[in-house]
Amino acid sequence: MNHVEVAIVGAGFAGIAMAMRLRREGRESFAILERGADIGGTWRENTYPGIACDVPSHLYCFANHPNPAWERVYARGPEIQAYLRRVVRDEGLHDHLALRSPLIGAARAEGVWQLDVGGAAPRRITADSLILACGRLSEPRVPAIDGLETFPGPIFHSARWDHSAQVRGTRMAVVGTGASAVQLVPELVRRGAHVTLFQRTPAWIMPRGDRAYHAGERAAFASDPGAIAQLRQSLFLEGEARYAARSGEAIAARAAREIALAHLAAQVSDPDLRRDLTPDYAFGCKRVLLSDDFYPALDSGEVALEPTALHAIRGRTLVAAGGTRHEADAIVLATGFETTRQPYAQLVRGSDGTTLDDHWATGMRSFASTLVSGFPDLYILNGPNASLGHNSAVLMMEEQAEFVVRCLAARDRAPGASVEVDLEQELAYTAEIEDRSAPTPWITGGCRNWYVDDRSGRLTLLWPGTVQMFRERLARADIASLTRAHSRGSR
């Protein structure tokens, strides 16, 4: 494999969605480069106790690969990775897949992408088009904490879980109260740990309503594909309806806030603990979480909530920003990921030698959340302004994959051409995003969130609209105007 028409980097949901769409278009000259030893992306990397999806399982899957056998309303991590393995097998993608093949450099030269691939057998390949499907939750964020190196016990990020670490009877400090911690802490309590939870900022938490599907339900799904389709459509519409509350529509946000506060009041009996768990910022400003067992775990007395951030470490003593001290045998950093500054951006150089990271020095920008000026025939899935806070991200990936094949078809119709957005188009799209996001709680809600880039104050992760609005926006993109003649040179 020295040259392919399309190189895909990443074998998570986005990369697999793209590969499937290429095959359905009759395109077979493509490779999927995956740095890991297995597929799965987020669901390969995150194996902490309690890992599960926050999107209903029948919507968190590919439209053309419904799964009647989902075990629960919200699928657990191992089941999701097993699902992805089945899709790769059923779609015949193994022949296109290169595992343990990290991208270590990519440069646009002579009309193609020149890719340096690492691993056991380092090599260079070329591709007409490069698709980055690296995800936004691929690189753990480790905060700078004074004295971190002095801690004598196990310390690891939730996305790099140490399964050899002792849990039962252990004093475990969990740093962070985001989506991972909310799932992790109750499971640690169930496994017999004594947990100290460091909370910088409380989260808005809504009831989850998870349960197992019983055998009769799974049998009905298997015998009647229409039942899954109907459920999927219902879940989709429920998700779209949540956008109003998440984006700050007054009546919807107030109603959602009241549900969250009632959920807190019903599950936490201690008024002081309730106070510490009550957010002081607008509903939707940070990621809204779902849980039925996080509050009960804290109310049980098995978790000590420290309502300030971890400030310093002195041996086994953890010093909170509020001055209190806690002893710990192990530390779990549930501190999120590098989201607004994507690590892969440092590896990719455009036609003038500028890295994608430099191009994004003041925050990620794009056109159609997919194309970047100065980087011909480069497509980014699940990147700038392509995430959601209210519905399934898989829906967005599928829309982007559809957009990419339209771009590839336009390129085919103009031999010797490339697909490239100019800077004016990119800036105009960025201005659209800024205008749409300006009144939302992501910008005005009084919190710090991982949707907004601190360097510019712009919303760079979320799409400020519904899935249907994204679909319509991509459909309006004038792809013919993006197809430009260039000199390909030699390979």
pLDDT band at 490 (very low <50, low <70, confident <90, very high): very low
Residue scoring higher pLDDT (117 or 488): 117
State residue 486's pLDDT score: 59
Residue 456: partners with Cβ closer than 8 Å, 6 or more residues away: 362, 363
Cβ contact 263:206 at 8 Å: yes
Whole-number mean pLDDT of the chain? 95
| Distance between CA atoms of residues 41 and 134, nearest Å | 8
The percentage of the chain sitting over the pLDDT mark of 70, rounded to a whole number, equals 98
Same-fold call for 3-139+338-485 versus 148-204+249-333: yes
Mean pLDDT for the stretch of residues 96-123: 96
pTM of the model: 0.95
| Distance between CA atoms of residues 16 and 8, nearest Å | 9
Mean pLDDT for the stretch of residues 371-389: 96
| Distance between CA atoms of residues 131 and 133, nearest Å | 6
What's the farthest any 2 CA atoms get from each other in the chain? 72
Cβ contact 56:235 at 8 Å: yes
State residue 415's pLDDT score: 86
The CATH number of the domain covering residues in 3-139+338-485: 3.50.50.60
Would you give the distance in Å from CA 234 to the centre of its chain? Answer: 23
Cβ contact 97:11 at 8 Å: yes
- Domain 148-204+249-333 is in which class? alpha beta
pLDDT for residue 1 is more than 70: no
pLDDT band at 416 (very low <50, low <70, confident <90, very high): confident
Q: In the chain, what are the domain boundaries?
A: 3-139+338-485, 148-204+249-333
